[in-house]
Structure 1
Amino acid sequence: MIILDNIISDRGSKYAVSGGPCHSPDDAKAFLKQLKRKKKFAKATHNTWAVICGDEEIKNDDGESGAGMIILQMLAREKLHNHIIVVTRWYGGKHLGGDRFRHVKEAVRTYLDEL
């Protein structure tokens, strides 16, 4: 599991990105469970994620509408299969509007650069 914490901060919201190998929906559940063992991630406002397992595309917005699809599209573009990416956001009290999508993209790019 790779965790890159406090990579983006905007108007009080903070972002982290994490990821690792994932070969099935059960692996995705296990990954999220392990991530949320860290109290900080369990208390996050959103843990948005996506993975491509074989031909199956799985995503979860976790309340951050549309963010899972952005992660999924970036995974597909990179042809990165069997690898989950989770973008975590701690809401800072101010709405970010469309900037939140820019931050999700930036977080995923930061993660991909670390691979």
Structure 2
Amino acid sequence: MTGLVRLGVVLSDRGSKYAVSGAPVRSRAEIDAVLGALKSERSYARATHNTWAALLDTGGLKADDGEGGAGMVILRMLERAGLDGHVVIVTRWYGGKKLGGDRFRRVQDAVRAYFDHLGIPS
């Protein structure tokens, strides 16, 4: 997939590892293509969660992939940053310990790492 950026694992917390990826998109079909390209890599396909969000002309789209509420965290950060036409995916490999509310902070940290990579203030 052209434009897909994988930053890889950007942080760990109590055994869980978080990675962040993203790409420019214009439609739900392009989001699905990006997710397919990401999950074509075995480690991402086997991840516990691939949570994502995107802002398109038609509005915001998100999916928690079992990590309840995490898609909304990403979507709100995209809205605040004004990053339209882009999907951001936070991948988590569960490490065996529940993180409680800290899981949302780790999602935010991963999205911030992606914004830093793009040169966008978070």
Gap runs ≥5 in structure 2: none
TM-score (norm 1): 0.98
The equivalent residue for 2:99 is: 96
1:46 to 45, 49, 71: 49
2:59 pairs with 1:56? yes
Q: Take 1:46 and 1:39, find their aligned partners in 2: how far apart are those partners?
A: 13
TM-score (norm 2): 0.93
The equivalent residue for 2:72 is: 69
Q: Take 2:9 and 2:65, find their aligned partners in 1: how far apart are those partners?
A: 19
Q: Percent identity?
A: 56
The alpha-carbon deviation at position 56 of structure 1 amounts to: 1.5
The equivalent residue for 1:12 is: 15
The alpha-carbon deviation at position 55 of structure 1 amounts to: 3.4
Q: Take 2:113 and 2:9, find their aligned partners in 1: how far apart are those partners?
A: 12
Structure 1 runs, 4 residues or longer, greater than 6 Å off: none
The equivalent residue for 1:81 is: 84
The equivalent residue for 2:34 is: 31
Q: How many residues align?
A: 115
Name the SS of the counterpart of 1:50 in structure 2. strand
Name the SS of the counterpart of 1:52 in structure 2. strand
Name the SS of the counterpart of 2:99 in structure 1. coil
The equivalent residue for 2:116 is: 113
